[in-house]
Amino acid sequence: MKKCILASVALLGFITIGAQNVTLNVRLKPIQTLVVNNSQKIVNLDYVTKDDYANGVSSLNADHLTIFSTGGFQVKVKAANAALQNGGKNIQANTIQLKASAGTDAVNGAQYAQGTTLSANETTLVTSTAGGVNKKISIEYKGAGANAYIDNYIAGQDPTVYTTELTYTIIAQ
């Protein structure tokens, strides 16, 4: 019986000696992507009537942005220039406001900027402490009223178009 017990202890000792430990790491890298709705890559603010010049016009772009983020994030926007250009004339970018809102698949707990003035400097539109997969953000663009653009029509152009490029970015928070 003693021999059997000693043999068992010796065998277990050999098995234990042969055991190895492995460290398993789950390594998460931050990923943020932002995609502009392909059918909304051109936004027009059309001034057609007297009321448009007096009250301003807006364009609501539902689900304008789709984001993927592995944690909290900020979405920012900036104009390429401080003014929208047409030849030698311009319209100041800060006369245009942007309003962010939840899209059809909203980011839980996100904070959306209301009435942000367009600028050549980055401006934060959305802030969230949580990430999300394929979450939607709607953006409304609003041009100035109060006849701010009354002297910006250029004879012979129909319509007169003032242009700038906007850059949206997403960063980890």
pLDDT tens column, 13-55: 555 578 999 999 999 999 999 999 999 999 999 999 999 999 9
Q: Structure pTM?
A: 0.86
- pLDDT value of position 115: 87
Residue type at position 29: K
| Percent of the chain predicted with pLDDT > 70 | 91
- Contact predicate 137/75, CB 8 Å: yes
Residue of 45, 80, 74, 52 lying closest to 171 (CA atoms): 74
Distances (CA, A) of 54 to 18, 42, 57, 86, 121: 84, 24, 9, 22, 28
- pLDDT value of position 160: 97
Q: Which numeric CATH code is attached to 31-172?
A: 2.60.40
Sign of CA dihedral 48, 50, 53, 55: negative
Instruction: Give CA–CA dist 89/152, Å, rounded.
Output: 7
SS in 3 state form for the chain? CHHHHHHHHHHHHHHHHCCCCCCCCCCCCCCEEEEECHHHCCCCCCCCCHHHHHHCCEEEEEEEEEEEECCCEEEEEEECCCEEEECCEEEEHHHCEEEEEECCCCCCCCEECCCEECCCCCEEEEEECCCEEEEEEEEEEECCCCCCCCCCCCCCCCCCCCECCEEEEEEEC
What parts of the chain have a pLDDT lower than 50?
none
